[in-house]
Structure 1
Amino acid sequence: MSKPTVLLIGGLTHANKEWNEYGSKYNLKEFLKEDRQEFLSNMKNGKYDDVVALYRSNNSVAQTGPFNKELISLLPKSLKFICHNGAGYDNIDVDACTQKGVKISSTPIAVDNATADVGIFVLLGALRQAWVPLKAIKEGKWRGSASLGHDPNGKLLGILGMGGIGRAMAERARAFGMKIAYHNRSRLPKELEGDATYLSFDELLAQSDVLSLNLSLNAKTRHIISAPEFAKMKDGVVIVNTARGALINEKDLVAALDSGKVASVGLDVFENEPEIEEGLLKSDKAFIVPHIGTMTYETQREMELLVLHNLENAVDKGSLLTPIPEQKSKANGNL
């Protein structure tokens, strides 16, 4: 009996040993350095007609481009599982996959701590408006024109998206004396909610001293924070985003910074990465880092292993360990 076939797209950094060991029970195929046209050609020519599950990542977009309708329409009938490395998966057309009967996993849990650490880092940097003195000292100007910042203690941290990363942010923020409120599509059970206050979306906008975005990007959440939402916020609110840049309309954000409606912002993600809105680059109120949320050895290895474990469970047992929320209720049955 032939072994099941699995496909690796884009290569691994920390779990090559574990991938190669799968060769004892799977037929391993790889697509590492080629481009989208070759990948599409491979599918049209039947090169992957035996592939049951594949491993891909946000980084592998460089090889294949996004998994959009065009690409998904060419996926072989044998393919049942896409095991994705990344907490965000907005470069996969989930609806097209669901219609084709393809199940998707992502890497929650593995990314929570590292992303929340960076979230607190940019939160503190924004509250203290640390960009000015950091830039000044490098230029030999000591503190430069630095002004007084604010303490986190006693501030209300509003978390939009109280999933694993949001809850990890809340845990860390409590250590700084912050009060926690949140908004989700549905309220969390008490054991996950803890002392956090559940608010409506508009209530969260109106009451937060610091607003942290910790939700997935999709058609419904794109530009969820724009001019109308800024208008509902407190004057001098601080915005933090470690999720996806396109959750915020960056031009509206720059306008809110310029007007003083938003006192400062801490960003790890941007709407058109790696390009950054010029107004953010010029603003002394913007504490920004280049999407480093999961850039630790421990987290990167844990993410790769989680994807491989999803792949193994999919092939051996027909189900995913960490299915994406849109498919979770159907993860063990027909889509």
Structure 2
Amino acid sequence: MVPRILIVGELVWAQEDCQKLLGDIAEVITYESSDRDTFVKELEPGGKYEGIVGIYRDNTSAQNIGIFDKELVNVLPSSLKWIAHNGAGYDQIDVLACKARGIFVSNTPGAVDDASATTALYLLISTMRNYSIAERSLREGKWKPAVAPISHDLEGRTLAILGLGGIGMRLAQLAHAFPMRIIYHSRHKNLNAPEWCEYFEDVEEMLAQADVLSVHVPLREETVGLVGEEWIRKLPKGAIIINTARGKIIDEEAMIRALEDGHLASIGLDVYPNEPEVNPRLLEFPYITLLPHMGTENQDSQRKMEVRALTNLRDFLTTGRGWDIVTEMKDL
């Protein structure tokens, strides 16, 4: 019997790739469920998704059926063995619930590195040079705002990277070209990092030397609010925070307080705790730069992500195991 693969979400750029990767080895079907209850019913024995062994999933599906929380994971058919998530972050999937049922989860590391890092670089440049308020001033017919006294060149400044994985490393390479001093903290020293990346085992010691802190850690239970009041206040007065990871990693209230009292000069955000909602208090600060989660919003990266997720399904079907198993699954 030909294995069945269910596409949950949208394949926008890699439809031909899907046929090349899976067309000869699987029956590929696309979910058409308009809501969560319908989706659950169609997963049942005798339903249109009966017998699926793999799922391709992207975050657009949450608009119709919600996230893959424990409730949904527990009603997935027993035939399902692999969920190939399209995205580096996978906080919309309860991976521990999947692990308990023997369902592997993969993500798409590497495919997002360039796009996410260049987004962080844009936020870094914009906040240091106050380009966001300058553009808005021009569009309002006011020419230049008075930003020169509080703007800075990047050359010679210190960029602290929290989490030197693929995205953090790519940002380090880009920022080093200015040149900036690059320092970082991760759970473990990155053995592949160049010598100009200075590792700090003590995160607070690193923060004390940072002009800019850029956040690149995954969202897990232990990283919610990781960058809180204490760490923010360890940064020198006038520092900047950049976040392209996940909004809940930073204590938003503590960050806003630091903006209000001037401890932080600016912030550059692409992510927020309750997307798509944005805290209206953030809009009161004219010098900060805000983006609507645009990190991977370009067709080149989107296609790479789709292809990588599909490739994980292909490898699972042909070898029994994909390459990009998420950290929590390594011992399955």
For 1:96-245, list aligned pairs within 5 A. 96-148=97-149, 149-189=151-191, 191-199=192-200, 200-245=202-247
CA distance in 2, matches of 1:275, 1:287: 16
The one-character-per-residue Cα deviations of 1:3-44 (angstroms, maximum 9, x if unpaired) are 111111112101112224533321222114521111111223
Which residue of 2 is the match for residue 51 of structure 1?
A: 52
CA distance in 1, matches of 2:115, 2:157: 23
Which residue of 1 is the match for residue 84 of structure 2?
A: 83
After the TM superposition, which parts of structure 1 deviate over 6 Å for at least 4 consecutive aligned residues?
Answer: none
Which residue of 2 is the match for residue 5 of structure 1?
A: 4
Q: Which amino acid aligns with 1:300?
A: Q
Q: Which amino acid aligns with 1:253?
A: M
Q: Secondary structure of 2:190's partner?
A: coil
Contact 1:222 1:247 in 2 (8 A): yes
The one-character-per-residue Cα deviations of 1:197-227 (angstroms, maximum 9, x if unpaired) are 1112222222211100011111111111121
Q: Which amino acid aligns with 1:30?
A: T
Deviation larger for 170-179 or 130-139? 130-139
Q: Which amino acid aligns with 2:65?
A: T
Q: Number of residue pairs matched?
A: 328
Contact 1:55 1:84 in 2 (8 A): yes
Which residue of 2 is the match for residue 31 of structure 1?
A: 31
Deviation at 1:46, TM superposition (A): 4.6
Q: Secondary structure of 1:192's partner?
A: coil
CA distance in 1, matches of 2:100, 2:203: 31
Q: Which amino acid aligns with 1:164?
A: G
The one-character-per-residue Cα deviations of 1:98-133 (angstroms, maximum 9, x if unpaired) are 111111111111100011111100101011122221
Deviation at 1:285, TM superposition (A): 2.6
The one-character-per-residue Cα deviations of 1:75-94 (angstroms, maximum 9, x if unpaired) are 11111110000111101111
Contact 1:158 1:212 in 2 (8 A): yes
Deviation larger for 281-290 or 38-47? 38-47
Q: Secondary structure of 2:301's partner?
A: helix
Q: Which amino acid aligns with 2:165?
A: G
Contact 2:108 2:308 in 1 (8 A): yes
Q: Secondary structure of 1:290's partner?
A: coil
Stretches of structure 2 that go unaligned for 5 or more consecutive residues are: none
TM-score by length of 1: 0.94
Contact 2:58 2:87 in 1 (8 A): yes
User: Cα RMSD (Å) of the superposition?
Assistant: 1.4
Q: Which amino acid aligns with 2:29?
A: K
Contact 2:225 2:249 in 1 (8 A): yes
Contact 2:155 2:180 in 1 (8 A): yes
Deviation at 1:146, TM superposition (A): 2.7
Q: Which amino acid aligns with 2:73?
A: I
CA distance in 2, matches of 1:300, 1:315: 23
Q: Secondary structure of 1:316's partner?
A: helix
Deviation larger for 199-208 or 109-118? 199-208
Q: Secondary structure of 1:181's partner?
A: strand
Q: Which amino acid aligns with 1:95?
A: L
Stretches of structure 1 that go unaligned for 5 or more consecutive residues are: none
Q: Which amino acid aligns with 2:320?
A: G
CA distance in 2, matches of 1:139, 1:62: 35
Which residue of 2 is the match for residue 251 of structure 1?
A: 253
Which residue of 2 is the match for residue 284 of structure 1?
A: 286
TM-score by length of 2: 0.95
CA distance in 1, matches of 2:278, 2:126: 19
Contact 1:132 1:145 in 2 (8 A): no
Contact 1:126 1:238 in 2 (8 A): yes
CA distance in 2, matches of 1:297, 1:11: 13
Which residue of 1 is the match for residue 16 of structure 2?
A: 17
Deviation at 1:193, TM superposition (A): 4.3
